[in-house]
């Protein structure tokens, strides 16, 4: 039987980033049930860094992560993971309350700028006449999610950490001063067990005899369209103020489009449903007069939320040595650098990195569900 200081369940962005932060100071194993890390939510994300997404409690995590991705630590990468994009939130006249609420919440902290109808038409060619109000979010940026994930996995390995794929956690129980795990690859002992299993977080908790906190997976659909006229390469992310769709360019003449759906789901290998694809296209065509030349790809992923839609970071109050690192919803990638540094400090007891020292971790503690 092998033994580690820390075992992390899940090798997506959450598990990879936290493992990379911990591996230099402890022996770390990351367990992944799939053949490759990042197969589910991490590998299916339409990743962009948007400070206003997730609400005012999540925003400090996103804001702190921005510089950490733009100028990564030297032991992580020598190149940035953010690229310029920008975002424009659009709406019809009846969306004025949503516009005002967004400006009131984030206008100063994020630097949002109102846009009138003329400015919208100048920025978005082919925008239909009834879309008359908008907000520009200049700071929004593309994220190289695959590159960031691979960089964390690389740092984890260079620091002595190990990754075991095709190794689902079957069960775990307290044993002495740690945990005894039964996996698809045999028995493992560890001192601290970290639940970074994404959509499977509550499933993992139950398999360890730990009470779930109510993390629910929701399906999000994405469609790749070839359109005419081709959108400009520097077109911002276009987001409906009412949360009905968003789209962004992806290569010559193509966009990635989502109906912003959130359909509750069991943990699974998510697949797109035709109704969601049709809704995405209908909402897109209601906003712009571009011709859809082809539907080239479609896929779905699971975004997992706790009941209050805030992430869950911290030791379980009733299960010694069981640490939650889950419930990151759709903001898990854009908050990954800050979240990993925060969680690493909670686990090791070390002072948090200056980049995240001002963030109140009590807001994310799993004890709030007791």
Q: What is the pLDDT of residues 124-170, one digit of tens each?
A: 999 999 999 999 999 999 999 999 999 999 999 999 999 999 999 99
Q: What is the dihedral of CA 252, 253, 256, 259, to 10 degrees?
A: 170
Across the range 108-120, mean pLDDT stands at: 95
pLDDT digits (tens, 9 = 90+) for 76-97: 999 999 999 999 999 999 999 9
What CA–CA distances, in Å, run from 24 to 150, 162, 259, 322, 349?
Answer: 17, 12, 41, 20, 15
Residues 228 and 363 in one domain: no
pTM summary value? 0.96
Same domain for 329 and 295, yes or no, is no
Mention every residue, 6+ apart, whose C-beta is less than 8 A from residue 127: 90, 120, 121, 287, 288
pLDDT at 361: 96
pLDDT per residue over 276-324, tens digit each? 999 999 999 999 999 999 999 999 999 999 999 999 999 999 999 999 9
Whether residue 43 sits in one domain with residue 104 = no
Q: Are residues 257 and 165 in the same domain?
A: no
Q: Is the pLDDT of residue 55 over 80?
A: yes
Peptide bond into 207 cis (omega under 30): no
1-28, pLDDT tens digit by residue? 799 999 999 999 999 999 999 998 999 9
* Mean pLDDT, rounded, for 170-177: 94
Contacts with 291 (C-beta within 8 Å, 6 or more apart), sequence order: 227, 228
With cut-offs at 50, 70 and 90, classify the pLDDT of residue 208.
very high
Phi, psi of 90 (to 5 degrees): -120, 155
Q: Look up the domain containing 191 and give its range.
A: 2-76+144-214+308-369
Residues 184 and 328 occupy one common structural domain: yes
Average pLDDT of the chain to the nearest whole number: 96
What is the per-residue pLDDT for 46?
87
* Residue 71 within any structural domain of the chain: yes
Examine residue 272 and state whether it is found in any structural domain, yes or no: yes
- Kindly state whether residues 357 and 251 are assigned to the same domain: no
In the chain, % of residues over pLDDT 90: 94
Question: Pick from 261, 277, 305: which residue ends a domain?
Answer: 305
> Cβ distance 323 to 315 under 8 Å?
yes
> Looking at the predicted structure, is the pLDDT value of residue 256 above 80?
yes
164 and 290 assigned to the same domain? no
Are 150 and 282 found together in one domain? no
Residue 133 sits in a domain whose CATH number is: 3.30.9.10
Domain boundary among 251, 270, 305: 305
| Residue 252 clears pLDDT 90, i.e. is over it | no
- 260 close to 245: Cβ distance less than 8 angstroms: yes
């Amino acid at each position: 039987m092998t033994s580690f200081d820390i075992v992390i369940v899940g090798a997506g962005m959450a598990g990879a980033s936290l493992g990379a932060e911990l591996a230099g100071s402890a022996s770390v194993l990351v367990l992944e049930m799939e053949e490759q890390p990042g197969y589910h939510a991490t590998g299916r994300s339409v990743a962009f860094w948007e400070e206003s997404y997730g609400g005012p409690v999540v925003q400090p995590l996103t804001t702190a992560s921005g510089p950490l991705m733009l100028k990564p630590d030297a032991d992580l990468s020598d190149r940035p993971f953010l690229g310029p994009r920008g975002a424009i939130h659009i709406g019809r006249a009846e969306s004025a309350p949503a516009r005002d609420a967004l400006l009131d919440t984030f206008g100063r902290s994020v630097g949002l700028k109102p846009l009138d109808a003329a400015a919208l038409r100048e920025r978005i060619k082919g925008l239909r006449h009834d879309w008359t109000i908008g907000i520009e979010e200049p700071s929004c940026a593309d994220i190289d999610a695959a590159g960031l994930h691979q960089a964390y996995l690389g740092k984890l390995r260079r620091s002595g950490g190990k990754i075991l794929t095709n190794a689902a956690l079957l069960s775990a129980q307290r044993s002495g001063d740690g945990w005894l795990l039964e996996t698809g690859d045999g028995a493992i002992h560890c001192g601290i067990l970290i639940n970074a299993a994404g959509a499977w977080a509550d499933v993992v908790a139950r398999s360890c005899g730990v009470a779930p906190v109510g993390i629910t997976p929701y399906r999000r659909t994405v469609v790749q369209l070839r359109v005419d006229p081709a959108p400009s390469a520097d077109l911002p992310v276009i987001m409906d103020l009412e949360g009905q769709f968003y789209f962004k360019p992806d290569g010559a003449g193509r966009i990635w489009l989502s109906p912003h759906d959130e359909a509750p789901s069991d943990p699974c290998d998510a697949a797109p449903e035709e109704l969601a694809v049709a809704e995405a296209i209908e909402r897109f065509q209601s906003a712009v007069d571009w011709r859809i030349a082809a539907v080239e790809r479609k896929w779905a992923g699971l975004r997992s939320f706790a009941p209050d839609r805030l992430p869950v970071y911290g030791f379980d109050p009733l299960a010694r040595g069981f640490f939650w690192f889950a419930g990151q919803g759709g903001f898990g990638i854009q908050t990954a650098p800050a979240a990993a540094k925060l969680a690493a400090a909670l686990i090791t007891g070390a002072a948090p990195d200056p980049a995240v020292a001002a963030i109140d971790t009590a807001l994310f503690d799993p004890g709030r569900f007791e």
